[in-house]
Amino acid sequence: MLRNALTVTAVTLLSLAGAAVPAGSATALQQTSPPQTAPQQVPLADPLPAPKKLFTIRDERIDESSGLAKSQRYVGIWWTVNDSGDTARVFGINAAGKVKAELSFKAPVKDVEAIAVDREGTIYIADIGDNKSTRDMIEVYTIPEPDKLEDATNVKFHRYDFKYPDGAHDAETLLIHPESRQMFIVTKVAKGLGGFYAGPETASREGTNELTKMADAPAGVTDGTFMPEGETVVLRSYVDIARVNWGEVPKVVGRAATPLAQGESVAVGPDADDNSVLVGSEGKGSAVYEMSMPAVKGAAASPTATPAPKNSAADSGTTKKSHNLRWIIIGAAFFAFVITIITFPPGRRERLDRMAENARLTGQAPPDQHPRRRTPAA
Q: Report the alpha-carbon distance of residue 322 to residue 20 in Å, rounded.
A: 7
pLDDT, one tens digit per residue, over 160-204 is 999 999 999 999 999 999 999 999 999 999 999 999 999 999 999
Q: What's phi and psi for 112, nearest 5 deg?
A: -70, 130
Confidence of residue 297 (pLDDT cuts 50, 70, 90): confident
Contact (Cβ atoms closer than 8 angstroms) between residue 143 and residue 155:
yes
pLDDT for 307? 34
How would you write 25-61 as a 3-class SS string? HHHHHCCCCCCCCCCCCCCCCCCCCCCEEEEEECCCC
Mean pLDDT rounded to a whole number for the chain: 78
Q: Report the alpha-carbon distance of residue 220 to residue 336 in Å, rounded.
A: 70
Instruction: Sheet containing 286-292: give its strands across.
Output: 52-57, 286-292, 276-281, 263-268
Q: Residue 86 pairs with which residues in a beta bridge?
A: none
Q: Report the alpha-carbon distance of residue 247 to residue 172 in Å, rounded.
A: 21
Q: What's phi and psi for 12, nearest 5 deg?
A: -65, -45
pTM of the model: 0.68
**Residues whose CB falls within 8 Å of the CB of residue 106, separated by 6 or more in sequence, listed in order:** 88, 154
In CATH, what is the architecture of 61-292?
Answer: 6 Propeller (2.120)
- Residue 339's H or E segment, with its range, is helix 312-343
pLDDT, one tens digit per residue, over 125-136 is 999 999 999 999
Select from 65, 62, 91 the least CA-distant residue to 78.
91
CA 355 to chain centre: 81
pLDDT above 70 coverage of the chain, percent: 66
Does residue 157 carry a pLDDT above 70? yes
Contact (Cβ atoms closer than 8 angstroms) between residue 227 and residue 257:
no
